[in-house]
Structure 1
């Protein structure tokens, strides 16, 4: 019973966070990509690819992480396990976001040197 509750909390919260952050990064990323690459069509294509990969990685991790849970016996464990798993999701989101920013920055830097 408690496992089902924790699964539902985790799926609802982590899916919302993933979709909301993805949408925000997609919208804000348009301007950043246009500044870096100076080509609107290429920027739109790259931004869509990044968004699709972002969703696939995060939603895949969310689905896989459900299989690693131990049995939850109390409501306190529901909150603790759910908070830890959501913390992992947010750390992954931060890592992916900053990796993309740095990769695009260094790509732009290399393109302007040539």
Structure 2
């Protein structure tokens, strides 16, 4: 009973967060990709879509994995602790992915500007 409550709570919150962050990254990420590939807007759009698909796959995979390793819960405090712990992990993963992507884009843009000068 407690595990089911935790799963449902976790899934509602994590799916909402994944969809919201994915939408934001997709909506505003094309600007950064367009700086890397300015000569081909269609390719920019396709790369942005592929990044979104990879983002969703990674996070869905982690979400399924997190549920599969969940310990048996025996009380409401355990539900809250477990849900918060798993949400913290996926939030850290989302943040790390974002900063890694921004770092890679920054490196590519610096290399591109150095070759143009």
Shorter-chain TM-score bucket reads over 0.9
| 1:61 is aligned to 2:62 | yes
1:1-114 pair list within 5 angstroms: 1-39=1-39, 40-114=41-115
Structure 1 position 112, deviation (Å) = 2.6
Deviations 1:27-84 (A, max 9, x none): 0111222234323222211111110000000110000111111111111111110011
- Give, in whole Å, the separation in 2 of the partners of 1:113 and 1:38: 16
Q: What is the TM-score normalised by the length of structure 2?
A: 0.91
Return 5+ residue gaps in structure 2 as ranges: none
Number of residues of Structure 1 aligned to a counterpart in Structure 2: 114
Runs of 4+ in 1 over 3 A off after TM superposition: none
Return 5+ residue gaps in structure 1 as ranges: none
